[in-house]
A and B are shown apart, each in its own frame.
Chain A
Amino acid sequence: MRKIKKLEMRGISKSFQGNPANRDINLTVNSGEILGLLGENGAGKTTLMNILYGLYQPDSGQILINDEEVRLTSPLDSIHHGIGMVHQHFMLVQNHSVLENIALGYEKTPFFFPKIRIRDKVVEFARRFNFAMDPTMKIWQLSAGEQQRVEIIKALLNGADLLILDEPTSVLTPQEIEDLFHILKDMKAQGHMVIIITHKLDEIMDICDRVTVIQKGTVVGSADTATMDKRSLARMMIGREVLFNAEREQLPKGDTVLKVDGITVKGDKGTPVVKNMSFEVYENEIFGVAGVAGNGQRELGEAITGIRAIETGRVEVKGVDTTNMSPRRIYDAGLSHIPEERIRFGIAPGLFLYDNSILKQHHLKKFSKKLFLEYSQIRDHAKSLVESYRVSTHSIDVQTKNLSGGNIQKLILGREISEKPPLLVASHPTYGLDVGATEYLREELLTRRREGGAILLFSEDLEEVMKLCDRIAVMFEGEFVGVLDSGDPRLADIGLMMAGSLRL
């Protein structure tokens, strides 16, 4: 028996310190329906969903379940009413097993022998939705997609009829996205409803029945996806069409900027995950590393940028040996870094936006005189970053953690690119960005390339890699199984290479 047949949000408004994040929002979902929520970074999507999940209280407006008004003052209320949410940053205990995590979040977990007694239930749920999952595995052993499935099971086990997913696909591999969509379609067939936030228009078209578009806190449109196409969606969202066709002109091959010579790097579990790898990246070049997540890309990026130790081998940036140097020295040698785990590495969340606008650059002459920081310069810098990278915030005097996910990303991007580094190492730079910002970023990368910059791009988005990169390396189990020029016909087999079944 489903608890929710219809959910309605009416006239919801919410401000933070006088700055509206949601204004008079109306939204309806019916059972057996998947609703897409679309909008630019900072439009207020997460805020709205946090209200529905009971994390924030709206300043005004009502929430109705089956045409009856309910008050959701905490996530517990929402869970009781059959609402579940999977946040963008998973909230799982890394050193515990899948079962233990589920037991922790499950309301009816018995006090004694919790694991044994809920085990059957978990296994049954996993079967019902065709999850492949070993409940005794520890969370840290799981990929992002598997962790997400654990979160989903947690929500379903608590009886969620309405599942909210906040940008669920940005950390998943294409295969995992497909699996997720299968699960969602199964849920839909069983009468669940789903609200999904995503910036990828294809996904909206693929999975959603209806889409609601939010702009600067207000709903600007709602439509059946059957009557829409990608162009009209984009137009609805940012008021113009997105070009999606940044031109990559031929440029002569420049000097070597990054030289990686036979490096071996260990992963968190102590085993080598990058094995004797060598490659070079040149001026005027975007070098893409594609591959299924977990094949050593993250560790490779961290090793080159100085966050992770290199066991053997050598890295040179513009002829300077940077092997195992401190990240700041490597920065001074000419390398900027957009890290993969941006909330973990990229910002100090409690410090102000302007403080974070100079992280790793605070020692530069223009920001500090002798021992002192030059706050007037820093503030100007922060303002110009906010402006040129369109970070939507009402001031630079906000704690960085209060920015929306995409805007934190834009701040980091701006900070790392605006210094015009000879070498930019970018891991999933478009992750979490709205379509407009993605387009802007891609152009920005191509501009760097044109100006003589070298870019090492890690991405799982094949379309992005194909579009931007001069050369594409496919990584599998810590090795490049092939390095191809962008025009190479063998790129058609990139899927096989990523799966490790083809080696060039």
Chain B
Amino acid sequence: MLRIKVSDRATTTGLRSFMTNIASLVAGLCAIGLIFVACGVNPFYAISKIFMGSFGSMYGFKETVTKAIPLIIIGGGLTLAFRSRFWNIGAEGQLLMGAIFSTWVGLAWGPNLPSWAIVPLMFAAGFLGGALWGLIPAILKIRFSINEVISTLMLNYICAEFMTLLIVGPWKGRSRFGFPGTDNLPESAILGVISGSRIHYVTLILALVFAVILAVVVYKTRFGYEVRVIGENPDAGRYAGINFFKTSLIVMAVSGGMAGIAGVGEVAGIHHYLTYPASISSGYGFTAIIVAWLAKLNPLYAVVSGLFFAGILVGGDAIQISLGLPAATVQIVNGTLLVFLIMGDFFFKNKITIRWGK
């Protein structure tokens, strides 16, 4: 009979962690290759096309960076939440809430304010929106022990429906001729881009700055220490008198707020008006979960893993068109990679012995 034994790995090293990630990605790509074969597509061609599409050309690379911006910001915020064992699945809703808040500010005050005033205001509003939306599940969890996975997930749908309601109802723009969507943001409220691309650099800079700040916070500050202790052993956190309520509130305010900032970037940098939730964010809040995971919950690594997954989004779009694959291709690729990363993590933490015997 086949016997499989799982036991804790006694020692782990940074190098092994890195190698495990690489191996998981390679294994994941192999599995994706099999899916392509099943669809009747040459897997080597398709996978190389994905990476050529995203990193192989200047146009593709610019698109990749554009899509990496929200992934890096949200992923960074999620590393903090996940590290404190707060399973925030609601970044998508927090992003949308940030978009709603900043649109309101942009439309209401934009016409009368110069760029240097309105842009920071919109970012602040976006952060606030995302943070508030993130605080709800934090309060529900600590005060009423409501599982945050469920509450954050459900709040996504509530926010998306709310946003739809706004754009077909009270916020419907006069310039839209009856189509859903708000009016365009005034010129001063629109983010500048690097010429010849859609890269709204203000948000990009914010993303990188946030990554560095978060890394410093986690590894150098008292607050970060408390988050790490809770993440390692909540009982020790209790023993050390760490205030779980306060810590969860801060963690979720930051995590939600950063998702909100990504929402500002999407509205003010890409679309320039508020439209359907599915157009504002193509699931960035969910993809960012994988980004944070691949980054091993280190906000600096999230910059790299954010770029990687943006590449898959862009490359996936490319092959979808050129190879005539279904629209779900990108999700399948992402999902497969996540499953393999999590499996890799399992093999990293545990030792498996398999053998024949009686």
Which residue numbers of A lie inside 8 Å of B, CB to CB?
A: 16-17, 55-56, 73-76, 80, 306-307, 326-331, 337, 339, 344-351, 355, 359-360, 362-363, 368, 371-373, 375, 402
10 more contacts with CB within 8 A, not counting A349-B232, A371-B222, are: A16-B11, A75-B7, A306-B241, A326-B243, A328-B242, A339-B239, A344-B235, A348-B232, A363-B222, A375-B220
Q: Answer whether residue B221 sits at the interface, using C-beta atoms and an 8 A cutoff.
A: yes
Determine the chain A residues whose CB is within 8 A of the CB of B209 once the complex forms: none
Residue of B with least CB distance to A360: B240
**Which of A73, A76, A375 has the most chain B CB atoms closer than 10 A to its own CB?**
A76
A335 → chain B, closest Cβ, in Å?
11
Contact pick for B239, options A16, A74, A327, CB 8 Å = A327
- Give the CA-CA distance A465 to B248 in the complex, in Å: 42
Query: Which 9 residue pairs spanning A and B have beta carbons closest together?
Result: A328-B241, A327-B241, A348-B232, A345-B239, A360-B240, A326-B241, A348-B233, A350-B232, A74-B353
Contact pick for A75, options B5, B221, B232, CB 8 Å = B5
- Give the CA-CA distance A345 to B5 in the complex, in Å: 29
Q: Do B238 and A73 touch across chains, with their CB atoms under 8 A apart?
A: no
- Given A74-B7, A330-B241, A360-B240, A373 contacting B221 (CB threshold 8 A): yes
Q: Do B228 and A360 touch across chains, with their CB atoms under 8 A apart?
A: no
Determine the chain B residues whose CB is within 8 A of the CB of A73 once the complex forms: 353
Determine the chain B residues whose CB is within 8 A of the CB of A355 once the complex forms: 225, 228-229
B149 → chain A, closest Cβ, in Å?
22
A465 → chain B, closest Cβ, in Å?
25
12 pairs of residues in contact across A and B, judged by CB atoms under 8 Å? A73-B353, A76-B3, A76-B5, A307-B238, A328-B243, A345-B235, A345-B236, A351-B228, A359-B236, A362-B225, A372-B221, A373-B225
B137 → chain A, closest Cβ, in Å?
23
Which residue numbers of B lie inside 8 Å of A, CB to CB?
A: 3, 5, 7, 10-11, 220-223, 225-226, 228-229, 232-233, 235-243, 353, 357
Determine the chain A residues whose CB is within 8 A of the CB of B241 once the complex forms: 306, 326-331, 360
Determine the chain A residues whose CB is within 8 A of the CB of B7 once the complex forms: 55, 74-75
Residue of A with least CB distance to B3: A76
Q: Do B239 and A337 touch across chains, with their CB atoms under 8 A apart?
A: yes
- Give the CA-CA distance A74 to B241 in the complex, in Å: 40
Determine the chain A residues whose CB is within 8 A of the CB of B232 once the complex forms: 348-351
- Give the CA-CA distance A41 to B45 in the complex, in Å: 59
- Give the CA-CA distance A55 to B7 in the complex, in Å: 8
B353 → chain A, closest Cβ, in Å?
5
- Give the CA-CA distance A162 to B239 in the complex, in Å: 39
- Given A348-B232, A351-B229, A402-B11, A327 contacting B240 (CB threshold 8 A): yes
Q: Do A360 and B239 touch across chains, with their CB atoms under 8 A apart?
A: yes
- Give the CA-CA distance A55 to B350 in the complex, in Å: 12
Tally of A-B Cβ pairs under 8 angstroms: 87
B32 → chain A, closest Cβ, in Å?
32
- Give the CA-CA distance A231 to B198 in the complex, in Å: 81
Q: Do A347 and B233 touch across chains, with their CB atoms under 8 A apart?
A: yes
Contact pick for B5, options A74, A347, A375, CB 8 Å = A74
Residue of A with least CB distance to B217: A371
Residue of B with least CB distance to A17: B11
- Give the CA-CA distance A346 to B237 in the complex, in Å: 9
Determine the chain B residues whose CB is within 8 A of the CB of A360 once the complex forms: 239-241
Determine the chain A residues whose CB is within 8 A of the CB of B220 once the complex forms: 372-373, 375
A174 → chain B, closest Cβ, in Å?
28
Residue of B with least CB distance to A351: B232
B175 → chain A, closest Cβ, in Å?
47
Residue of B with least CB distance to A359: B240
- Give the CA-CA distance A348 to B84 in the complex, in Å: 13
Determine the chain A residues whose CB is within 8 A of the CB of B225 once the complex forms: 355, 362, 373
B294 → chain A, closest Cβ, in Å?
19
Q: Do B10 and A56 touch across chains, with their CB atoms under 8 A apart?
A: yes
- Give the CA-CA distance A306 to B238 in the complex, in Å: 9
Determine the chain A residues whose CB is within 8 A of the CB of B242 once the complex forms: 328
A305 → chain B, closest Cβ, in Å?
8
Determine the chain A residues whose CB is within 8 A of the CB of B357 once the complex forms: 76, 80
Determine the chain A residues whose CB is within 8 A of the CB of B239 once the complex forms: 307, 327, 337, 339, 345-346, 359-360
- Give the CA-CA distance A351 to B7 in the complex, in Å: 21
- Give the CA-CA distance A118 to B237 in the complex, in Å: 41
- Give the CA-CA distance A82 to B272 in the complex, in Å: 72
Determine the chain A residues whose CB is within 8 A of the CB of B222 once the complex forms: 362-363, 368, 371-373
A390 → chain B, closest Cβ, in Å?
23
**Which of A56, A330, A344 has the most chain B CB atoms closer than 10 A to its own CB?**
A344
Residue of A with least CB distance to B232: A348
- Give the CA-CA distance A17 to B10 in the complex, in Å: 11
B339 → chain A, closest Cβ, in Å?
24
Residue of A with least CB distance to B11: A16
- Give the CA-CA distance A410 to B228 in the complex, in Å: 22
- Give the CA-CA distance A328 to B353 in the complex, in Å: 44
- Give the CA-CA distance A322 to B357 in the complex, in Å: 60
Determine the chain A residues whose CB is within 8 A of the CB of B237 once the complex forms: 348
Determine the chain B residues whose CB is within 8 A of the CB of A372 once the complex forms: 220-222
- Give the CA-CA distance A344 to B240 in the complex, in Å: 12
Contact pick for A328, options B3, B5, B223, B240, CB 8 Å = B240
- Give the CA-CA distance A76 to B5 in the complex, in Å: 8
B133 → chain A, closest Cβ, in Å?
26
B224 → chain A, closest Cβ, in Å?
8
Determine the chain A residues whose CB is within 8 A of the CB of B235 once the complex forms: 344-345
Contact pick for B236, options A326, A348, A373, A375, CB 8 Å = A348
Contact pick for A347, options B10, B223, B236, CB 8 Å = B236
Residue of A with least CB distance to B10: A56
- Give the CA-CA distance A26 to B239 in the complex, in Å: 42
**Which of A329, A337, A349, A360 has the most chain B CB atoms closer than 10 A to its own CB?**
A360
- Give the CA-CA distance A173 to B20 in the complex, in Å: 46
Residue of A with least CB distance to B230: A348
Q: Do B221 and A371 touch across chains, with their CB atoms under 8 A apart?
A: yes
- Give the CA-CA distance A375 to B221 in the complex, in Å: 10
Residue of A with least CB distance to B241: A328
Determine the chain B residues whose CB is within 8 A of the CB of A17 once the complex forms: 11
A419 → chain B, closest Cβ, in Å?
14
Residue of B with least CB distance to A56: B10
Residue of B with least CB distance to A306: B241
B244 → chain A, closest Cβ, in Å?
10
B127 → chain A, closest Cβ, in Å?
19
Residue of A with least CB distance to B358: A80
Residue of B with least CB distance to A50: B10
**Which of B11, B229, B240 has the most chain A CB atoms closer than 10 A to its own CB?**
B240
